[in-house]
């Protein structure tokens, strides 16, 4: 029987989240382990408690209370279908989670990637693998989201990460924060999607939406800014081609000539990115997939309907690949060095994949040592 890893991550209601979860699960299994994406089932009282927490959060940040969700229902269903087909998540109650830690079923546990440690969203204890008291646990390419981490939040984070064997993060800000809270070395790596090369992503998306005409892809998670809309207008005038708005519907874009809205799955998402002539977005993962395939793009600041700005994640991503001038820039005549970008992608792919392999080997070794010691830590 193969050793099994329990993976706690974000995967619902978002293209990037589902694809980073897919990448993590697939790579863990390529490395010889079985992998379950696990989540905590909530009973009635836990759901009520969670609702109370969210209401309190809305009082602290009133703008969040009126947050609109622009993801269309049909797209949401397609993402959910992908999740249950490709990730097949396994749910456990709180009691069952505490129980599996004492059984031989799992060799160890991983949390990450994505914003699993975004304290502005009040993450559940499962995101810190609190149930895993007797098994090794690692944090893989985690993000803390925005840049507002008060002294109280840092103290809370420090308390909840001290039992981890190793931690890696995917952003510079998270690296600075966690290095000051965790006694061991914290590695700065990349998003798990980088572990697949371009050919693998093209194969992944071979059955996705393919359009027979040239198009500009618009993918905005939040309402596009005035600057972004002006840029889109200039792009349309330059190319005079179809303007595809995908997944997230925004009235602000309807005035654009040749406007077409499309629903789709994560497979369609990758396929449309790889087939686009140009991409305009406010999305971290859409920027990342554009970089993977050398697609010309611009990324604009997100119009977060909350007081916590999270553009630092995208700014670090662009700096990493030498693409700083693609953020919030409405100029059309920007070129960049594809050769240099591809070299950096290959370097980051090796670093991220090797970190995961090394950490899985460590989990296996610690688990075997624990068995030899009769289950004692």
Name, in order, each residue with C-beta under 8 angstroms of 318's C-beta and a sequence gap of 6 or more.
287, 299, 324, 326, 327
DSSP annotation string for 141-171? EE---SS---HHHHHHHHHHHTT-SEEEESS
Query: Exposure pattern of 295-321 as b/e (b: 16+ CB <10 Å)?
Result: bbbbbbbbebebebebbbbbbbbbebb
State how far the Cα of 249 lies from the Cα of 12, in Å rounded to an integer.
18
Sign of torsion, CA 75 77 78 79? positive
Q: What fold does the segment set 4-195+345-372 form as a domain? A: Rossmann fold (3.40.50)
In this prediction, residue 307 has a pLDDT band, given cuts at 50, 70 and 90, of low
| pLDDT higher than threshold 90 for residue 103 | no
State how far the Cα of 53 lies from the Cα of 36, in Å rounded to an integer.
28
State the pLDDT at residue 100: 84
- Cross-strand pairs, 281: 219, 299
In this prediction, residue 102 has a pLDDT band, given cuts at 50, 70 and 90, of confident
State the pLDDT at residue 66: 45
In this prediction, residue 22 has a pLDDT band, given cuts at 50, 70 and 90, of very high
| pLDDT higher than threshold 90 for residue 203 | yes
Query: Exposure pattern of 74-108 as b/e (b: 16+ CB <10 Å)?
Result: ebbebbeebbeebbebeebebeebeebbeeeebbb
State how far the Cα of 235 lies from the Cα of 92, in Å rounded to an integer.
49
State how far the Cα of 235 lies from the Cα of 240, in Å rounded to an integer.
8
Averaged over 173-183, what is the pLDDT?
89
Give 218's DSSP letter. Answer: E
Name, in order, each residue with C-beta under 8 angstroms of 296's C-beta and a sequence gap of 6 or more.
277, 278, 279, 290
In this prediction, residue 133 has a pLDDT band, given cuts at 50, 70 and 90, of confident
The residues spanned by each domain of the chain are 4-195+345-372, 198-336
State the pLDDT at residue 303: 63
- Topology alike, domains 4-195+345-372 and 198-336: yes
Averaged over 260-279, what is the pLDDT?
96
Label residue 334 exposed, middle or buried (CB < 10 Å: 0-12, 13-18, 19+).
exposed
The separation between CA 268 and the C-alpha centre of its own chain, rounded to angstroms, equals: 17
Q: What is the pLDDT of residues 48-67, one digit of tens each?
A: 555 555 555 555 554 444 45
Q: Which residue has the tokens 């998540």?
A: 89
The CATH class of the 198-336 domain is alpha beta
């Amino acid at each position: 029987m193969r050793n099994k890893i329990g993976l706690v991550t974000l995967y619902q209601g978002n293209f990037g989240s589902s694809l980073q979860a897919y990448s993590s699960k697939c790579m863990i299994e390529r490395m010889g382990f079985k992998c379950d994406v696990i989540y905590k089932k909530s009973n009635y009282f836990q759901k009520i408690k969670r609702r109370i927490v969210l209401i309190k959060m809305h009082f602290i940040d009133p703008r969040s209370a009126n947050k609109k969700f622009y993801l269309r229902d049909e797209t949401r269903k397609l993402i959910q279908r992908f999740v249950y087909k490709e990730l097949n998540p396994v749910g456990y109650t709180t009691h069952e989670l505490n129980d599996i830690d004492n059984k031989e079923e799992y060799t160890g546990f991983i949390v990450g990637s994505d914003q699993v440690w975004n304290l502005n969203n009040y993450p559940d204890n499962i995101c810190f693998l609190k149930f895993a008291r007797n098994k090794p646990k690692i944090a893989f390419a985690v993000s803390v989201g925005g840049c507002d981490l008060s002294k109280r939040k840092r103290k809370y984070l420090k308390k909840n990460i001290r039992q981890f064997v190793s931690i890696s993060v995917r952003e510079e800000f998270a690296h600075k924060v966690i290095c000051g809270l965790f006694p061991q070395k914290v590695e700065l790596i990349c998003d798990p999607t980088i572990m697949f090369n371009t050919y693998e992503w093209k194969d992944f998306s071979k059955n996705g939406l393919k359009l027979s005409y040239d198009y500009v892809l618009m993918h905005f998670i939040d309402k596009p800014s005035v600057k972004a809309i002006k840029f889109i207008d200039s792009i349309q005038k330059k190319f005079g081609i179809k303007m595809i708005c995908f997944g997230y519907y925004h009235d602000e874009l309807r005035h654009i000539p040749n406007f077409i809205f499309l629903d789709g799955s994560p497979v369609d998402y990758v396929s449309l990115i790889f087939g686009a002539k140009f991409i305009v977005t406010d999305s971290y993962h859409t920027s990342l997939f554009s970089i993977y395939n050398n697609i010309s793009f611009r990324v604009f600041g997100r119009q977060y309907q909350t007081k916590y700005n999270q553009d630092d994640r995208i700014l670090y991503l662009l700096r990493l690949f030498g693409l700083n001038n693609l953020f919030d820039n409405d100029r059309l005549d920007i070129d960049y060095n594809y050769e240099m970008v591809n070299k950096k992608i290959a370097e980051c792919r090796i670093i991220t994949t090797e970190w995961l392999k090394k950490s899985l080997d460590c989990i296996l070794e610690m688990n075997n040592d624990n068995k030899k010691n009769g289950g004692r830590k």
